[in-house]
Amino acid sequence: MKKLNIMLLGGTKDSTELIKHLKNNYDTHILTTTTTEYGSKLAVEAGSDDTIARPLLKDEIIEIINNSDFDLLIDATHPFAEHITQTSKSVSKICDINYIRFERPPLIFDDIDESYIVYAKSFENAGEIISQQYPQGNILHFAGANTMEDVLKNVSADRFYPRILKVPKSIEKCEKLGIREDHIIEMKGAASLKENIDLIEKYDASVMITKESGEIGGVIEKIEAANRKDIDLLMIKRPVIKELEKEDIVSTLEEFDKKIKKLF
Annotate 187-224 with three-state secondary structure.
CCCCCCHHHHHHHHHHCCEEEEEEECCCHHHCHHHHHH
Give the pLDDT score at 221: 92
Give the pLDDT score at 176: 95
CA proximity to 202, closest of 138, 128, 131 = 138
DSSP 82-149: HHHHHHHHHHHHHHT-EEEEE-PPPPP-TTS--TTEEEESSHHHHHHHHHHH--SSEEEEES-GGGHH
Give the pLDDT score at 41: 94
Q: Coil, strand, or helix at residue 156?
A: coil
Could you tell me the domains of the chain?
Answer: 4-105+241-263 (3.40.50.720), 117-236 (3.40.50.720)
Rounded average pLDDT per 10-residue block, the chain, 264 residues: 94 93 97 92 96 95 95 93 93 97 80 90 95 94 93 96 90 95 88 94 96 79 95 90 89 95 93
Q: Give Cα 88 distance to the centre of its chain.
A: 16
* Residue positions counted in the chain: 264
Give the pLDDT score at 187: 84
Close Cβ partners of 62 (under 8 Å, ≥ 6 residues apart): 91, 94, 95
Give the pLDDT score at 239: 80
Give the pLDDT score at 60: 97
Give the pLDDT score at 238: 82
Give the pLDDT score at 105: 77
